[in-house]
């Protein structure tokens, strides 16, 4: 019989190690290991005690779609896949102070007003504090039941009696399971508490929202281990100095992943932003070199966003490559393609790239807009302000068509843009997407784009 030896668990990836070390061998995270008691009785379940026979069903059995409740906050409902699914478990992660408690208190109030019995359990603030916040948000009279408690046994006993439709646990790191012998916030505690709560959700048909703090240094057990246990993982992102907040679905068993909801942090809580493109572009002033508007798709929705680049000479032999809101590796690739295929070197130049408004873009469709911003900054030539750009760049320098062209163009047209620079549909496609009021300039490769747009090459 194998003896359970693993005693240290990584908060980032969940890997087990026999001894402590400063760095996790599995994922490379620093200072993320913490001690964990091994599970007793690792002798296998087919041992002495026989299991009971379970009933198997057919795949063909027809099932009604899960009942959903809408909060009336459209940005939240859409990210959830069209409302809150009964008996689902949802993790809302984000940096401390980003606004998770505010968002969930507002959501709790809206769901309660929509007729769902809601319990809000705070392990971080006293009930009076939560009540005060609710009053400041103008939600003082919402029928939400409150508790300030961290003992999970008591919480579950209460929920068992109350039978709410939704329970918010703020936060999972503060919950304490008395059968697990380690401090609240440790990986074993977080994992045990999340397991108890998700099981409760399935058993009682209550939806459970778990709030989880994500810390960079791994001091608190990250909710990464919890991600596998829940149906839906939402991340609440944004910069603290900035008023925009983005709720992003990174996993959703009941809807599309990658869907985003946009909010604005105001003095009276989070306000929904129903037209994010207008907001992301609102800070744009006069046409300046290095600024390009990218017509992107976030989830099911087109979003226009400004991409800004700054290129400056540097005496350093290793010039800086600094990126916010876009992938650093992808930037390196585009710089390499510009150099190798178009003969435009960026050696001896610092490059800064920024996606305005705090949005993080992961679409390769932004390649061409990034290249345009870089060239515009390098050549000190502004791109016409009525133009949007999108297209994927391949290593050969060819431009690849991207999905949902029509949606992107329609959104651009709606916001007053009249021209778009797009990948050529060429011989392969030739479908010719046309949107009234938009003039398209098509390019089959980067060289042709550079030559025509910047007259360089």
Contacting positions for Mg ion (CB under 5 A): 101
Alpha helices in 217-364 (DSSP H): 224-227, 276-281, 328-342
Determine, following the binding rule CB under 6 A, whether residue 248 of this chain makes contact with ligand TYD.
no
Question: CA 419 → CA 69, 295, 309, 423, 440, distances in Å?
Answer: 41, 11, 21, 13, 6
Determine, following the binding rule CB under 6 A, whether residue 94 of this chain makes contact with ligand TYD.
yes
Q: Of the two residues 248 and 410, which places its CB atom closer to ligand TYD in the complex?
A: 248
Determine, following the binding rule CB under 6 A, whether residue 101 of this chain makes contact with ligand TYD.
yes
Instruction: Pick the binder of ligand TYD from 22, 51, 65, 97 (CB under 6 A).
Output: 97
Instruction: Say how far apart CA 67 and CA 84 lie, in whole Å.
Output: 8
Least Cβ distance, residue 412 to ligand TYD (angstroms): 32
Instruction: Pick the binder of ligand TYD from 87, 98, 109, 309 (CB under 6 A).
Output: 98
Query: How many residues sit close enough to ligand TYD to count as binding (CB under 6 A)?
Result: 15
Candidates 141, 142, 95; CA nearest to 116 is 142
Determine, following the binding rule CB under 6 A, whether residue 128 of this chain makes contact with ligand TYD.
no
Least Cβ distance, residue 100 to Mg ion (angstroms): 5
Backbone angles phi, psi at 74, to 5 degrees: -60, -40
Least Cβ distance, residue 100 to ligand TYD (angstroms): 3
Q: Which stretch binds ligand TYD (CB under 6 A): 75-83, 96-104, 334-342, 398-406?
A: 96-104
Instruction: Say how far apart CA 89 and CA 199 lie, in whole Å.
Output: 9
Q: Of the two residues 88 and 102, which places its CB atom closer to ligand TYD in the complex?
A: 102
> In this structure, what token pair is assigned to residue 337?
């393609």
Instruction: Say how far apart CA 21 and CA 19 lie, in whole Å.
Output: 7
Q: Of the two residues 168 and 351, which places its CB atom closer to Mg ion in the complex?
A: 168
Question: CA 33 → CA 9, 131, 182, 217, distances in Å?
Answer: 5, 37, 14, 11
Candidates 409, 418, 417; CA nearest to 390 is 409
Determine, following the binding rule CB under 6 A, whether residue 268 of this chain makes contact with ligand TYD.
yes
Q: Which stretch binds ligand TYD (CB under 6 A): 63-71, 130-138, 310-318, 334-342?
A: 130-138
Instruction: Pick the binder of ligand TYD from 133, 330, 378, 410 (CB under 6 A).
Output: 133
Least Cβ distance, residue 37 to Mg ion (angstroms): 29
Q: Of the two residues 101 and 291, which places its CB atom closer to Mg ion in the complex?
A: 101
Determine, following the binding rule CB under 6 A, whether residue 96 of this chain makes contact with ligand TYD.
yes
SS3 83: coil
Instruction: Pick the binder of ligand TYD from 14, 99, 123, 423 (CB under 6 A).
Output: 99
Give strand ranges (E) for 131-274. 144-148, 166-170, 207-213, 232-237, 244-252, 260-266, 269-272
Determine, following the binding rule CB under 6 A, whether residue 269 of this chain makes contact with ligand TYD.
yes
Candidates 221, 205, 243, 249; CA nearest to 92 is 249
Q: Which residues bind ligand TYD (CB under 6 A)?
A: 94, 96-102, 133, 136-137, 265, 267-269
């Amino acid at each position: 019989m194998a003896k359970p030896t693993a005693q240290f668990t990584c908060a980032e990836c969940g890997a087990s190690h026999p001894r402590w070390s400063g760095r996790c061998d599995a994922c490379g995270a620093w200072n993320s290991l913490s001690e964990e008691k091994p599970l007793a009785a690792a002798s296998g379940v087919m041992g002495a005690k026989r299991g009971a026979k379970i009933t198997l069903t057919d795949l063909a059995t027809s099932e009604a779609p899960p009942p959903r409740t809408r909060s009336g906050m459209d940005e939240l409902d859409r990210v959830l896949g069209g409302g809150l699914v009964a008996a689902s478990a949802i993790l809302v992660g984000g940096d401390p102070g980003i606004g998770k408690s505010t968002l969930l208190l507002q959501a709790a109030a809206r769901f309660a007003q929509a007729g769902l019995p809601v319990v809000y359990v705070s392990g971080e603030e006293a009930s009076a504090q939560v009540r005060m916040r609710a009053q400041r948000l103008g939600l003082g009279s919402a029928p939400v039941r409150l508790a300030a408690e961290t003992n999970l046994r008591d919480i579950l006993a209460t929920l068992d009696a109350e039978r709410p439709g939704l329970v918010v646990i703020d936060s999972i790191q503060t919950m304490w399971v008395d059968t697990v012998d380690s401090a609240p916030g440790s990986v074993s505690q977080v994992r045990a508490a999340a397991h108890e709560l998700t099981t409760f959700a399935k058993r009682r048909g209550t939806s459970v929202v778990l709030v989880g703090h994500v810390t960079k240094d791994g001091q608190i057990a990250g909710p990464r281990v919890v991600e596998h246990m829940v149906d839906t993982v939402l991340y609440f992102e944004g910069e603290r100095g900035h008023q925009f907040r983005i709720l992003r679905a990174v996993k959703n068993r009941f809807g599309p992943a990658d869907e985003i909801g946009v909010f604005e942090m105001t003095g009276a809580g989070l306000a929904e932003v129903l037209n994010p493109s207008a907001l992301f572009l609102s800070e744009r002033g006069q046409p300046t070199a290095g600024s390009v508007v990218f017509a992107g798709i976030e989830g099911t929705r087109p979003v226009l966003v400004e991409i800004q680049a700054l290129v400056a000479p540097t005496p350093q032999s290793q010039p800086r490559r600094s990126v916010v809101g876009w992938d650093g590796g992808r930037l390196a690739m585009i710089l390499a393609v510009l150099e190798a295929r178009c003969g435009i070197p960026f050696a001896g130049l610092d490059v800064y790239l920024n996606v305005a408004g705090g949005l993080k873009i992961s679409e390769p469709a932004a390649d061409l807009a990034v290249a345009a911003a870089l060239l515009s900054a390098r050549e000190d030539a502004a791109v016409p302000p009525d133009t949007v750009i999108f297209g994927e760049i391949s290593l050969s320098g060819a431009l690849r068509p991207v999905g949902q062209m029509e949606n992107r163009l329609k959104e651009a047209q709606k916001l007053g843009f009249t021209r778009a620079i797009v990948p050529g549909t060429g011989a392969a496609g030739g479908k010719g997407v046309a949107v009234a009021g938009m003039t398209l300039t098509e390019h089959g490769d980067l060289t042709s784009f550079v030559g025509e747009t910047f007259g360089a090459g």
